[in-house]
Amino acid sequence: MLNLLLKYKRIVKYLMAGGLAALVDLSLLYILTDILGIWYLISASLAFIWSFFVSFFLQKFWTFSDRDQQKMYRQMAGYLSVALANLALNTALMYWLVDG
């Protein structure tokens, strides 16, 4: 089992970083909505912002060991464009499922 994990080290790191970002997203969504009483769509957007940065920096520096600072803002812009499309679809679907 350990040999298999070492063989697919980058994939395992990718999945772990994504899982941690998802955990941050869901935890913040719960805290902001259920504990602090913030409207769920605002909570989802705020949780997204935090999980975006967790995901981006973990993937860049830990999963892919990319230490190049020169490209970071361009990479972040590309990553953000995909993430914003995801946020728009997620928010629309959440609204439709909750209030629709």
19-39 pLDDT per residue, tens: 999 999 999 999 999 999 999
Q: Which domain holds residue 95?
A: 10-99
pLDDT band (50, 70, 90) for residue 62? very high
Which residues have CB under 8 Å from 59's CB, separation 6+? 14, 17, 18
CA–CA gap between residue 52 and residue 5 (Å, rounded): 26
Q: For the whole model, what pTM was predicted?
A: 0.85
Tokens encoding 59: 């993937």
Report the half-sphere exposure of 47 (CA within 13 A, side-chain side): 24
Q: Do the domain assignments include residue 20?
A: yes
Q: Do the domain assignments include residue 62?
A: yes
Q: Do the domain assignments include residue 48?
A: yes
Considering the chain, what percentage of its residues have pLDDT values greater than 70?
99
Residue indicated by tokens 């772990």: 16
CA–CA gap between residue 40 and residue 4 (Å, rounded): 41
The distance of Cα 20 from the centroid of its chain, to the nearest Å, equals: 8
Split into its structural domains, the chain has a count of: 1
Q: Do the domain assignments include residue 45?
A: yes
pLDDT at 85: 96
CA–CA gap between residue 53 and residue 22 (Å, rounded): 12
